[in-house]
């Protein structure tokens, strides 16, 4: 069963700012789409625990913090930031 992924307004604004200032907009778009897909399928196992209820997931060049409501099957993306791309991954 899939989850609904909701980017709260603050995280949407952060993503828009990152995208607007990016020289690699297609990479930012692809990462945001991949994050959506991963969190829709199985958010419980994605990323790492950041705090008691918040998880963190990196999909270069983005890092998101999110919470999962298993009962309502909703994932809320709280924040998004740009991270440096690891050149060793190429």
E strand segments, the chain: 4-7, 48-49, 54-59, 62-69, 74-82
Residues 88, 7: Cα–Cα separation, whole Å: 30
Contact 39, 31 (CB under 8 A): no
Mean pLDDT of 35-50: 95
Mean pLDDT of 25-50: 96
3-state secondary structure of 52: coil
The pTM of the whole model exceeds 0.95: no
Q: What's domain 4-84's architecture?
A: 2-Layer Sandwich (3.30)
Residue bearing tokens 């991270």: 83
Residues 8, 12: Cα–Cα separation, whole Å: 6
């Amino acid at each position: 069963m899939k989850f609904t992924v909701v980017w709260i307004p603050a995280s949407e604004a952060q993503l828009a700012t990152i995208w607007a200032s990016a020289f690699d907009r297609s990479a930012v778009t692809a990462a945001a789409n991949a994050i959506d897909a991963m969190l829709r399928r199985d958010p419980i196992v994605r990323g790492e625990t950041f705090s008691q209820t918040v998880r963190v997931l990196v999909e270069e060049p983005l890092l998101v913090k999110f919470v999962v409501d298993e009962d309502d099957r909703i994932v809320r993306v709280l924040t998004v930031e740009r991270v440096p791309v690891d050149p060793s991954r190429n």
